[in-house]
A and B are shown apart, each in its own frame.
Chain A
């Protein structure tokens, strides 16, 4: 019963949402490759939620201990929660290199907030999910602590089986949703209202997932979103400039960031054979086949279809700059991609960067004969391979030498 009440509210929200007409700006538009892996801090996600009218704990952010103290006073709350803002999880059990234990603290005294913030800001917080040396904390969140009498789980996500957004809810503590509806029906309406606002947010920011854990009930009968994880559709970056501008890249892999600048899809892995491939499927398969032949891929790299010689050069530069790379495997099947462009980019890069590791090259497709000629005549120590199996075997063998 409660589920249908909630779903009616949601359905109404859905109808309103789908009737919105997105007016497109017909300005000239180039085919930009979107940035990958947008990560927002907790306070940024909560700010987005606040802007959509979703109930979150009242909070301020602070970059200095005195700001934190002021914020704590301004909150005028019964109890305050101080949270270090880093992207990684496990903050509660983390340790600062200032000696302070725990990245999340509760206190009723604003002065304590100031003292604790002093031991957080500018120091590194190490948790189970951070690198060994931890992550520097530049911002803290000072929020009103609220008691949670009941925790539930709620998420909205784009689902392929349902061809669109689905809502997932999980009541906790063994309480029936019907029982809640019977004894405290107003809570259901409040939750439905929060759900509608979360759905509006989901659409507004082009999210692929909004996960609220927990969606909780306070002793005073408020429904509050205590934490949220929002995943964003990279393809929507062109119309979500404000959201993507919030991207905190300080915790990102520097190579991934540099690659994104050149519109290269690069993901760092932990092996020693660098991959240089056109096409996402072929790039994944190249990593797979290196592994199949006993090697370890150092990265995933998809050059894309319209790749230019400059990008080839920059990609090569990135790969060769990685100290853990002991061999490079180039695997190109040119459809749109002209193999000769790849060959020119590689030979130029090899000459300028003084290639020190074995280079295995497998080329096929558009203009392959011209490409092979360019590579042979370059005089560079390049191992040519016939197919993907051959290329992987040669790359693995080249390291063992």
Chain B
């Protein structure tokens, strides 16, 4: 039959490789949440609850992957912070683990030896970095220099560091 090289609504399967990314502390306190697909508040709350209880109850040295509904949960602990990324079932789990790791590296590069406090107090910066790194559930830029350069460029443009640090916002 003829082949149709344009949109065909009947067999469109959406791929969102990543569904959400959560950062939470050992006590289960949420530090950052990013949802790559639309979700209701209710769903979000349920997921956050499920994730913290599932991930925190894992034994050390067990597999970094979990099943949750039809998704795979990839989690990793860095110091006191858990990073937890949900991907589609057929995705590559190891790669997702490296996505988390790369994000941590980016944070580290930006904050310099990043700790949980940096992310708590500057959570909006953590979001900016994430938005340069991942976009709509896909890897956007994997080059560390590029990401930092664009973050810093935005930082620099309007506000000098001095101003940023010395004065409280108002």
Chain B binds chain A: no
Residues of A whose CB lies within 8 Å of any CB of B are none
